[in-house]
Chains A and B, each alone.
Chain A
Amino acid sequence: MKKTMSDYELIEQFVKGDQSCFETLIHRHKNKVFAYISLYIRDQALAEDLFQDTFLKVIQSVKSGKYYDNGKFISWVMRIAHNLIIDHFRRVKQLNTISNDDYESDLFNSRKLAEANIEDHLIKRQIQKDIRKLISQLPDDQREVVILRHYSGLSFKEIADITDVSINTALGRMRYALINMRKMMEEKKISLTFN
C-alpha cells in the first residue's frame, strides 16, 4: 500500500503521525541521496554522517511546515544535502582529501567468495576504485553535475535549481566533465576489462 503512495501522500501521513511513512520515503530515496553525498564527499565516515543529517533535517523541516509540495520531494531533499555539504566545506574551509581506500573493506572476509572469482572481483574492485578516483579528480562543479545526473537521476532542470545555475551552465558542466573523464580514461588506460 505505502509503496504505491506518492512522496507527498507519505509526508502527509507522516505529519499526521504515521512514522512508518517516513521510513518508506527513506527506503525509496536513500540510494540517490547516498550516491550524491558519498561520491562528492569521498570520506566515508563523513558521508555517512551527512547522509543521516540530511534525512533528519528533512524531518525537522517537514515538521516545521517548511515543505510545500510541488511534486519534487527528492529534488528538495537533494538541495538539503547540497546545503549540508556546502556548510561542511565552509566549516572546514578546505577540500577534503581523504582517500577512497576506506571503500575497500571486507573483500577477503566474504565466505561466499569462491576462489575462482577472486581475480574477477579484484579486477572489478580496481576498476571501481579507478572510476571513483576519476570522479574525484573532476573540478567540484563538474563532479557535482555528473553525480546528480548520473547517480541521483535528477533532471538538468532540477540540477540547475539545486546548484543555482542556468540549465545551459549545468549542461555545459556535464559536457566538460564527460570530456575530461574520457581524457583521463585514455591517459590512465582505464577500460572495462572484465566480463
Chain B
Amino acid sequence: MGLTSTHFISYQKIQVDTVDIYDDAYGFNKEFGDVMNLLDQVKPVPGKRLTKRLIERVRQMN
C-alpha cells in the first residue's frame, strides 16, 4: 500500500511564508496559468538613471 513510505511533517515545518493562502485556495495560478505566463513577459523595472536620480534627491533631503 505504500503507507509506511510517507513522511509525516509537523505543522511547524510547513512553509507558507511565500504562499498567499487565498491565492492558493482560489487556484488562480492553476486555472489561469496561460494568462499568468503572459503577464510574466512584462517586467517593469526602474532604469538606472531613475534610481540614481531618486537617490540623489534622497541625499539632498537629508
Contact B58 A128 (CB under 8 A): no
Number of A-B pairs whose CB atoms are under 8 Å? 97
B26 → chain A closest CB, angstroms: 6
Bound CA–CA A30/B61 (angstroms): 18
Bound CA–CA A182/B53 (angstroms): 38
What is the size category of the interface that chain B forms with chain A? Answer: 20 to 34
Bound CA–CA A59/B46 (angstroms): 19
Q: B1-60: which residues lie under 8 A (CB-CB) from chain A? A: 20, 22-23, 26, 28, 31-32, 34-39, 41-46, 50-51, 53-55, 57-59
Bound CA–CA A180/B36 (angstroms): 13
Asked if A146 lies at the interface with its beta carbon under 8 angstroms from chain B, I say yes
Contact A30 B51 (CB under 8 A): yes
Which of the segments A34-42, A73-81, A88-96 contacts the partner chain? A34-42
B59 → chain A closest CB, angstroms: 7
Contact B50 A48 (CB under 8 A): yes
- Identify A174's interface contact among B28, B51, B53, CB under 8 A: B28
A19-B59, A52-B54, A155-B22 given as contacts; is B42 within 8 A of A132 (CB)? yes
Taking CB atoms, residues of chain B closer than 8 Å to A22 are 58
B16 → chain A closest CB, angstroms: 11
Taking CB atoms, residues of chain A closer than 8 Å to B35 are 178, 181-182, 185
A–B Cβ pairs within 8 angstroms, 12 of them: A26-B51, A26-B55, A30-B46, A30-B51, A48-B46, A52-B50, A131-B42, A155-B20, A155-B23, A175-B26, A181-B39, A182-B34
Residues of B at the A interface (CB closer than 8 Å) are 20, 22-23, 26, 28, 31-32, 34-39, 41-46, 50-51, 53-55, 57-59, 61-62
Residues of A at the B interface (CB closer than 8 Å) are 19, 22-23, 26-27, 30-31, 34-35, 38-39, 48, 51-52, 55-56, 59, 124, 127-128, 131-132, 134-135, 146, 149-151, 155-157, 167, 171, 174-175, 178, 181-182, 185, 190-192
